[in-house]
Structure 1
Amino acid sequence: MKRFWLVTAVGALAAFTAAMGGSTAYGGSSSESAAAPIKVGAITPLTGPFAPWGLQARAGMALAVNEINRSGGVKGRGQGRLLNLVVADDQSRNTSAAIDGFRRLTQQERVVSIGGIIDSGIGLATSRLAEEARVPLFLVKSGNNDILTPSSRFTFRTCLPAASMVATSVVELAQRRGIRSVGVMIADYAWGQSFKSSLEDAAKAVPNIRFNIQVAPVPTTNFTPYLRAFGDVSLLVGTGHPPGASLILAQAGQLGIKAPVIGAYSPYSLTARNAGAAAYGRWSDFKCMATGSRGYKALAKRYLRTFPQNEFFEDDALAGYAYVKIVAQAIQNVGTSPQAIAAYVHRTTFNIPGYAFPLRWTAWGELDRPTVQFAVLTRGAPPEAGLNTASPTFWPRVVFKSRPLPPYRPPS
């Protein structure tokens, strides 16, 4: 039996607490609005190895729904209407669960949009369904190059750019640091293979840097043989293996490998928990959030007040928040037609507080020249209050901002 969560928050903290766990549905229409609520959907991992990403994304969506509903709902043509968030668990790489969830959300729940996609295989499957059903789909991670096609019009990336754009950033970072030998860990699935081929293409432009690439199964937890195969490297790249990136960091330290590790757009809190002291000063990651910005700090404070069990406002939560705000703005301007919402998103630039770049898209739904930030996980309290919960132990110190990344153009 597939599980669904329904959020119809009007301001009660209990609704948010329920949104973060449990397997029972909850919610219902509110008497505060005579018009029927508008349903927005999410397909995201609430169980399995990608759950740390999905739970953050769902929390960000719930925060946006609550804020909009507390202010009277989406105000457009006529009376304000509340939002309902209906969430399906894709179980972290279960394509059948994702497809079933998509059909239930679009055919039974009649949502106007879907967001929260993390896994690249699920992104590939649901993007094809979205294009066929003409329902806008918003990806949080899902960086496989093959997800978008030249004819894509209803699929949008929101945080993680295409694998080719991420690979370009990794190569740029290695060049800036004068690194000559790089060890790269790849997971043997859609994202990992897409990142591998993109990195191999990008590396051709820098023949003075040696890239040693190792491919490991997705469920692998013992990376010792692969790490030993790297030999003497000055940088470890775990970007192609999201489930194992923090384990790679910890096990490299156990082997005496001192090279810094680049993550896989992984939650900072997950890395700090899994790798402990080994993470500080050595773990760095690309993010779509600007942690030093006023907008991020203000949003982080509201998020952490609402979800005190979370230690950090991750960019997955920010992307989930952005998804709901984008769709709400579209509804306010063009109504609830999914086709009209998609068309509005294509022609609009969105300045979401906390983002490192304006959100705008190419005709095929790729992020248009995003500028991602690269930060090192640093021990101790952040220099400014509000970035963490009451007992902060780490903060991300930004050390590099990529140049605006030219959007990946899928082959025709």
Structure 2
Amino acid sequence: MIMSRESYDRRAVLKATGGAATLGLLAGCLGGGDGNGTDGDDGGSTTSTSGNGGGSSGSNSINIGSVQPLSGGFAPWGQAHSAGLSFAVDEINSNGGVLDGRNLNIVEANSESDPAEASSIFDRFAEQNDIVAATGPVSSDVGIRTSRTAQELGIPMVMHMAGSDETITSETRHSFRLGLLPAATTMQAQAEFVSDANYQNVAAIVGDYAWGRSVKSAINEHFDVDVNIQVAPVGASDFSSYIRQISQDVELVIASGHPPGSLSISQQLYELGYNPDVITGPGLPPTVIRSALGDNATRGFTHVHMTDVYTDKFAEVAQRFGEQVGEQFDTHTSYGYITGKMIAQAIENAGESNPEAVTEAIRNIEFETLFPEPIQYSEYGELKNQVQLYSTLSTEAPPYHPSGNYSLREEYRTEPLPALDPGN
């Protein structure tokens, strides 16, 4: 049975969106529990799933490790990614599996966004479950640690988010980005957006951790206008003191640098009388944006994403997902879905389930998917020639999911962006 991770754990979402300030907004929008049998507080549990077409895990199956943040501040990302991955594996197994009939199987555990725990899970999956590849990290701190673990183990790790520039270096050859371009590239794109819109009054609130520090450095490098940068703890929920350091006539606020606090930053900007044209958010699941911000979700909060949600191909996958899982397919379920499909294609291209062979197959892949451009990688595992899209939310349901309570509207898309060279 496909397991939905879109029915987000209310406690996890509240942590991600600032706690009590959004409790009333969320209470009527999110179901209790995550709907999948995973205890959101149990960081050590491991679950094993396979698709409808494959039945239960068997000795001939090929295991993929899912190292997900299923509780804590990054849980909305992890739960959505996990749901998409499970859906992809179900489709793959229903269509005959890989390598002439071998099923894919997901082994999953909750990292709680703890780098040491994530690395330990990765080690355990390699030793006990003989995984061929892994995926899941969202937090940059976890991405940095598991990227090193992937190198030590010789097993490919496909990063859900983990956009810090330091996640991938010239020494890490088994790590691959997917759902988020590195901070330097993301801020280069946002600088072009600011320039095109001719904004002059720009501010940013960034988290004091690897991703936030990378964003701050990239803002200083790429923006032609002076940006008022405020640095807040990664676990902050009250941003009023940082917001008050920003000009009341600010035109654009970069909240991309503080993913767990971005929605609280937005709400508190409005509560304090600010009305920027645009708030550039992180790649937060749109369901969470809509639920947490309510009517304010349509005021300019900008979802940054990689998947082209405006194509017939996306609508077809989203409709299948909605019919089988009963939830709205979004950018983050799509990242899990794409990851599962890409790993399966890499196994086919390699002709075997050896992790080193799969690593090389991913590095050399050209994979047509739900992104605007085919997925291709540099020798270091950075995405080549990919496009970032900026979308705002509408309260209208999309045609492929009539019971949904939001849809996306395209505001901007970049030109294909070059791969970051970790040697520079």
TM-score where L is the length of structure 1: 0.89
Residue 279 of structure 1 corresponds to which residue in structure 2?
297
Separation of aligned partners in 2, 1:375 and 1:135? 34
Asked if 1:82 is matched to 2:103, the reply is yes
Residue number among 220, 225, 247 corresponding to 2:264 in the alignment:
247
Q: Please give the secondary structure, in 2, of the residue aligned with 1:142.
A: coil
Give 1:347 deviation, angstroms.
Answer: 1.3
Q: Please give the secondary structure, in 1, of the residue aligned with 2:253.
A: strand
User: Unaligned 5+ residue runs, structure 2?
Assistant: 8-33, 40-44
Separation of aligned partners in 2, 1:32 and 1:155? 29
- CA deviations 1:357-406 (Å, max 9, x no partner) are 21110000001121111111122234xx11x4x43322110011111112
Separation of aligned partners in 1, 2:49 and 2:297? 40
Give 1:250 deviation, angstroms.
Answer: 1.0
- State how many pairs are aligned: 386
Residue 256 of structure 1 corresponds to which residue in structure 2?
273
Residue 349 of structure 1 corresponds to which residue in structure 2?
366
User: Unaligned 5+ residue runs, structure 1?
Assistant: 1-11
Separation of aligned partners in 2, 1:14 and 1:280? 30
CA contact (8 A) 1:356 1:373 kept: no
Residue number among 410, 413, 422 corresponding to 1:398 in the alignment:
410
C-alpha change, 1:381 and 1:225, in structure 2 (3 Å) is: same
Residue number among 149, 154, 170 corresponding to 1:129 in the alignment:
149
- Runs (4+) of structure 1 exceeding 4 A deviation are 13-19, 26-35
Residue 154 of structure 1 corresponds to which residue in structure 2?
174
- CA deviations 1:331-377 (Å, max 9, x no partner) are 2232101011111111121111x223211100000011211111111
Residue 220 of structure 2 corresponds to which residue in structure 1?
200
Paired residue type of 1:252: L
> Alpha carbon RMSD of aligned pairs, Å?
2.1
Asked if 1:358 is matched to 2:379, the reply is no
Q: Please give the secondary structure, in 2, of the residue aligned with 1:256.
A: coil
Separation of aligned partners in 2, 1:300 and 1:14? 15
Give 1:21 deviation, angstroms.
Answer: 3.6
Residue 91 of structure 1 corresponds to which residue in structure 2?
112
CA contact (8 A) 1:19 1:62 kept: no
CA contact (8 A) 1:39 1:84 kept: yes
CA contact (8 A) 1:20 1:55 kept: no
C-alpha change, 1:27 and 1:321, in structure 2 (3 Å) is: closer
Separation of aligned partners in 1, 2:49 and 2:234? 36
Give 1:281 deviation, angstroms.
Answer: 3.4
Q: Please give the secondary structure, in 2, of the residue aligned with 1:369.
A: coil
Separation of aligned partners in 2, 1:31 and 1:391? 30
C-alpha change, 1:13 and 1:350, in structure 2 (3 Å) is: closer
C-alpha change, 1:103 and 1:173, in structure 2 (3 Å) is: same
Residue 332 of structure 1 corresponds to which residue in structure 2?
348
Residue 62 of structure 2 corresponds to which residue in structure 1?
38
Q: Please give the secondary structure, in 1, of the residue aligned with 2:244.
A: helix
Separation of aligned partners in 2, 1:178 and 1:315? 28
Give 1:183 deviation, angstroms.
Answer: 1.1
Separation of aligned partners in 2, 1:283 and 1:14? 30
Alignment of 1:204-215 (within 5 A): 206=224, 209-215=225-231
Paired residue type of 2:307: M
TM-score where L is the length of structure 2: 0.86
Residue 320 of structure 1 corresponds to which residue in structure 2?
336
Give 1:129 deviation, angstroms.
Answer: 0.9
Residue 378 of structure 1 corresponds to which residue in structure 2?
394
Separation of aligned partners in 2, 1:120 and 1:196? 14
Separation of aligned partners in 2, 1:86 and 1:211? 44
Paired residue type of 1:223: F
Report the more deviating stretch, 143-152 or 19-28. Answer: 19-28
Residue 75 of structure 2 corresponds to which residue in structure 1?
51
C-alpha change, 1:395 and 1:287, in structure 2 (3 Å) is: same
CA contact (8 A) 2:50 2:57 kept: no
C-alpha change, 1:28 and 1:71, in structure 2 (3 Å) is: closer
Give 1:100 deviation, angstroms.
Answer: 1.1
Paired residue type of 2:197: R
Q: Please give the secondary structure, in 1, of the residue aligned with 2:294.
A: helix
Paired residue type of 2:90: N
